[in-house]
Amino acid sequence: MRFETLAVHAGHWVDDETGAVTPSISLSTTFRRETDGTYPHGFIYSRTDNPNRTALESCLAALDGGEAAAAFASGQAATMSLFQALAPGDHVIAPNDAYYGTAKLLRDVFAAWGLEHSLVDMTDLVAVERALRPNTRLVWVESPSNPLLRITDIAAVAGLAHGAGAFVACDNTWATPALSRPIELGADFVMHATTKYLGGHSDVLGGALVARREGDALFERVRLLQRTGGAVAAPFDCWLVMRGVRTLPYRMRAQSAGAMAVATFLSTHPKVEAVHYPGLPTHAGHEIAVRQMSRFGGMLSLQVPGGREAAMGVAARCTLFTRATSLGGPESLIEHRASNEPPDTRTPQNLLRVSVGLEHPDDLIEDLDRALSGVAVA
């Protein structure tokens, strides 16, 4: 099946009892045993397995070309389960511009637990190779990255990591399986904040880990942590993500086209210092993006002359863009990213991150043009 067809059908079925075309939400926490003590439907207790979660997991595994998936209550819970599946004394390599929640977990939670980590420039393969140690168990990749939209060569990093006996996980939240499938490029695990494009409507928090191989010892531990730790996605949340996924390919197409139009407009605007969008031929990662993505996604960032105040001013003058963090919904968002990150952030103070929604791109361009017209150019 092609991706659009999978997005509509994977994990969905028509209910034989009622004929319902849309799955119902199974709120029951517990499931009946037969007189012989068996569970004929495979469900015992909702923390261990739930029909909506099982459906979502099979859907997400299919979309990313993996054998299995584990769904969690948030993207962070999914990331955390993979780190927890490692052992104290293991070493993790992650990008120096990783999603700040990922870096925060490594630094503020898992360092004390004995998990070692190095943050490197993932676009520099020599730096990745140098960071590999005998105890490196996991290389964490994120592409495009946040907020500079840097592109990592997933296949090349996977080659280096596997050569050193390490697993590779890719945070595929921004690209989604509609645009990039890291497992096909060599990754062993794909992580999603389903909160973003997969849910797609800014109304559900969730996460998932997709595994290349179901029986991997590391994924077995993730499963154990999911079922025993209990940071599982709730039935309604699973249902919302499944609903979102059905339109994912078409939303990603429209949001990529919108972001390309906005980035192209900004790239020649006199009040814009820099635009970061992998679809622009001038972007440093453009060639790799062309190879490993089918489109370039709905996220971009821009830098304006004049620093933090100028950037805040542009965000304040936007009327169509909502000033808010997060991404992937139908409404366009604009965010002064540095002020939502810790004080030691690497994010430039004059940077605005934009999540392009499903509005007409010309309306978005007009709104940005108006907001930028107030920027003083030195």
Supply the residues annotated as catalytic.
Answer: 47, 99, 171, 196
Q: How far is the CB of 276 from ligand PLP (least distance, A)?
A: 15
Q: Is residue 196 a contact point for ligand PLP (CB under 6 A)? A: yes
Q: Is residue 347 a contact point for ligand PLP (CB under 6 A)? A: no
Mapping DSSP to helix (H, G, I), strand (E, B) and coil, where does residue 72 land?
A: strand
Which of these, 365, 168, 183, 360, lies nearest to 263 by C-alpha position? 365
Q: Is residue 140 a contact point for ligand PLP (CB under 6 A)? A: no
CA 270 to chain CA mean position, Å: 32
The residue at minimum Cβ distance from ligand PLP is: 75
C-alpha distance from residue 310 to each of 104, 278, 281 (Å): 28, 24, 27
Q: Of 239 and 265, which CB lies nearer to ligand PLP in the complex structure?
A: 239
Q: Which stretch binds ligand PLP (CB under 6 A): 21-29, 110-118, 189-197, 277-285?
A: 189-197
Q: Is residue 152 a contact point for ligand PLP (CB under 6 A)? A: no
Q: What is the DSSP letter of 367?
A: H
CA dist 172 and 78 (Å) reads 12
CA dist 240 and 218 (Å) reads 28
Q: Which of 52, 84, 195, 301 binds ligand PLP (CB under 6 A)?
A: 195
DSSP β-bridge partners for residue 30: 45
C-alpha distance from residue 88 to each of 91, 92, 136, 189, 223 (Å): 8, 11, 12, 20, 19
Q: Which of 26, 46, 50, 76 binds ligand PLP (CB under 6 A)?
A: 76
Q: Is residue 101 a contact point for ligand PLP (CB under 6 A)? A: yes
CA dist 172 and 309 (Å) reads 32
Which of these, 179, 152, 175, 173, lies nearest to 93 by C-alpha position? 152
Q: Of 66 and 306, which CB lies nearer to ligand PLP in the complex structure?
A: 66
Q: Is residue 100 a contact point for ligand PLP (CB under 6 A)? A: no
Q: How far is the CB of 330 from ligand PLP (least distance, A)?
A: 17
The amino acid sitting at 350 is N
Q: How far is the CB of 102 from ligand PLP (least distance, A)?
A: 6
Contact string 156-175 vs ligand PLP (x = CB under 6 A): ---------------x-xx-
Q: Is residue 74 a contact point for ligand PLP (CB under 6 A)? A: yes
Which residues form the interface with ligand PLP (CB under 6 A)? Answer: 74-76, 99, 101, 142, 146, 171, 173-174, 193, 195-196, 205, 207
